[in-house]
Amino acid sequence: MPNTQELQDLVVQVRRDILRMVHKVNSGHPGGSLGCTEFFVALYNEVMELKEGFDMDGIGEDVFFLSNGHISPVFYSVLARRGYFPIEELNTFRLIDSRLQGHPTTHEGLPGVRVASGSLGQGMSVAIGAALAKKLNGDDHLVFSLHGDGELQEGQNWEAIMYAAGNKVDNLISTVDRNGQQIDGATEDVLPLGDVAEKFRVFGWDVLEIENGNDLEQVVAGLKEAKSRTGKGKPVCIVMTTEMGNGVDFMMHTHAWHGKAPSDEQLANALEQNPETLGDY
């Protein structure tokens, strides 16, 4: 496995990928992508047990489902740099006939993507179904999922959350990106979520919190702790506090960069804050 410095170098390079992809097509969602960079790097390079190659069934390995599919730039970058498809293909982000659409889809056959996502609120249900399938198949590997906090304002999530606990889906680790921002503003202004961790506990989940989801070592430790709690009769939830736009000073502490591309000048500024580490595509 890569050491901490190698993982940190990858974090910085993924940030560059995100910024350059969104800038090139003047479209996409940099804020949430930057906020979850450490999570994706840790998950795919340190935490999940993965086979060589890719197949849709995912038998004999851990699988991941991205529910808040608009943060596809970080997903695509980490998949490419993990070897799922050529890094140069990041050049095609959001172009017509590209496999790298704004929200991940399956009909293009992009390795690493097992479900179309972007219609918020549905990923929890998908992840639970996959986790139950692993149990039926006698596969002791895990299902991971990621959800936006604003996404939890949609009711289907809570039906699924209740179902998972009631049916002891204890091979599932669902992480909530608690960045406090959504497209229309702060989550507390749009529709307050209250104590997300306590809500999951009351619904019967085992819950842990990552206080700084932009600290790579905290994220790795939190994900490994979550793995140690699986198989004990409860699904596991991680409430992970992040900063939208992390790593680019003018994108942080605001919802404004939820779905906006940087200008040429802004891109240069952002890239200067994230010097090239592993080579641009």
Q: How many CA atoms within 13 Å lie on the side-chain side of 236? A: 22
Q: DSSP label at 173?
A: E
Nearest 10 degrees: Cα torsion 146, 152, 156, 157 = 50
Does residue 189 fall inside a structural domain? yes
Does residue 52 fall inside a structural domain? yes
pLDDT one-digit tens code per residue, 169-202: 999 999 999 999 999 999 999 999 999 999 999 9
Does residue 203 fall inside a structural domain? yes
**What are the percentages of helix, strand and coil residues in the chain, rounded to 5?**
45, 10, 45
Which of 26, 35, 105 shows the shortest CA–CA distance to 251? 35
Cα distance between residue 84 and residue 228, in whole Å:
27
Does residue 267 fall inside a structural domain? yes
The pLDDT of residue 2 is 85
Q: Show the low-confidence residues of the chain (pLDDT under 50).
A: none
Q: List CB contacts of 124: < 8 A, sequence separation 6 or more.
A: 67, 145, 147, 156, 157, 160, 161, 164, 174
Does residue 215 fall inside a structural domain? yes
pLDDT one-digit tens code per residue, 135-168: 999 999 999 999 999 999 999 999 999 999 999 9
The pLDDT of residue 108 is 86
Does residue 279 fall inside a structural domain? no
Does residue 253 fall inside a structural domain? yes
Does residue 278 fall inside a structural domain? no
Question: Domain of 255: which CATH number?
Answer: 3.40.50.970
Cα distance between residue 115 and residue 128, in whole Å:
13
Block residue for tokens 């999940």: 48
Domain count, the chain: 1
The pLDDT of residue 230 is 98
Amino acid symbol at 200: F
Would you say the pTM of this structure is higher than 0.85? yes
Domain span at 70: 4-273
